[in-house]
Chains A and B, each alone.
Chain A
Amino acid sequence: MKRTLKMILALSLLGAPMARSQDNVPILSGALAFLGSSTGGANSYEPILAPVLVAPFGDHWLVESRAEVLGFIARENGTSGPYSGTFAATFDYLQLDYLANTHLTVTVGRFLTPFNIYNERMPVWITNLEDGPIIYTIGTRTSGSSNGFMVRGDLVAHPEWSVNYTAYFSAATTTENLQSGRAAGGRMGVFLPQTGLEVGASYQRFLQNGDYNAYGAYAIWEPPPIPLDVRAEFAHSPGGHGYWLEGAYHLASSRGTSTWLSRLQAVARVQQFIKGSNPQPGDFLPTVNVNQFDIGLNYYLPHELRLNGSYGRQYSSAGNANVWNFAITYRFLFPAWPGGHQ
């Protein structure tokens, strides 16, 4: 943890003047959140600080990183005993990007593994439900991050449709808080901006401890006139397969309306997991079939503050359970250099 904090500090000190020299202002963004959860009577609390440093330099370069300082506080015996806590700090990504053109960005370093949409596009301040989907670990082993190189961009960038792609290779790393698996894979999606629809597919070849394939598909639909978000993922691996489907609706007649009622968002999600015939050690997937539904309410307060609350019911042969979650999230963004706000 000390090493990670030192790296964050060093990156801030080195990146800021480098970026400033080209009239580029580095920024510090991210979120501060407090999550509470109760699953089958076992309570846990998670304070999270997730700072994002963005330091552009030159016309084509960018250094970006997101660290996560995460606490986990729970009873020692699950539902009984005194509370105790642990803290850990990790880098979700720490990458150097070269933005060649619309069609190609080359990334080296540590980056979020691009498998489907949840891992890469839904940090704590974006996701509508704080409880992650059951299939999250499919295609994102071992830590959700990869260490290696990645190419990405738009193969086709047309005003009415675009095709985006990502391809990567990751080396196995066992360094504390910087773990990654040896893997290669990619994702391809088609986006239709006028209808707000994106569909895509992902593939990963995991190349350690016995090679195996993981594949998945996703869809996002945000119809422009209606404040509705529909997101879904399907993923398959030897350890099991499953899907989640989520809908979220702001209580407003149109997208972009800002009233006290439109700040309220109702969310519902269904998900299903079916265990596979060949579970892999360390894949963090359930060993039994699981069905779950969640319903929730989010309220978007002024000044980038958000409240979440949700209830879910989990059904499995290991026992059914109620899942309660609440969260308060504050999103911040300010220049990482004095005078940068001018």
Chain B
Amino acid sequence: MKKLLVGLVLIFALACSRKVPAVPQTSPGAQQAPKAPIKKGVNAQDGERKFKENCGRCHNPPDSLSPREVKAVVRHMRVRAMLSEEDAQLILQYLAP
């Protein structure tokens, strides 16, 4: 049991110590930093590829969702399918361009 608890603490510490570049959040009213030019075609292709690699393993794209609904779906799947922040952002852009 002690070994298990030590293992849990190590995993927790390791997870907290690793940082990835933050994905810009777009909440209304928030001041936004200047963005780099977005390559729409590349992002769409990447988003579609990420959707197929991750979500498409279990199900098809959902029928007609609004961007706000997609936001909830993608956050749900970030937990369920353990999507990375970067992949979740690309899938969000693919499903709600």
Contact = CB atoms under 8 A, between A and B. Distances in A.
Interface residues of A, number: 60
A158 to B, nearest CB: 9
A340 B68 contact: yes
A164 B82 contact: yes
A97 B76 CA distance: 10
A167 B75 contact: no
A6 interface: no
Contact of A153 (B15, B57, B65, B72): B15
Interface of B: 1, 4, 7-8, 11-12, 14-16, 18-20, 25, 27-28, 52-54, 56-60, 62-63, 65-66, 68-69, 71-73, 75-76, 78-80, 82, 84-87
Secondary structure class of chain A's binding surface, majority of residues: strand
Nearest to A59: B25
Interface of A: 19, 22-27, 29, 52, 54-56, 59, 62, 64, 97, 99-105, 107, 120-121, 125-126, 151-155, 157, 162, 164-165, 167, 169, 184, 186, 193-194, 196, 205, 207, 220, 222, 224, 229, 255-256, 300, 303-304, 333, 335, 340-342
Nearest to B20: A102
B34 to A, nearest CB: 20
A27 B69 contact: yes
B14 A155 contact: yes
Contacts of A220: 57
B84 A151 contact: no
Given A24-B72, A27-B69, A101-B20, A162 B84 contact: yes
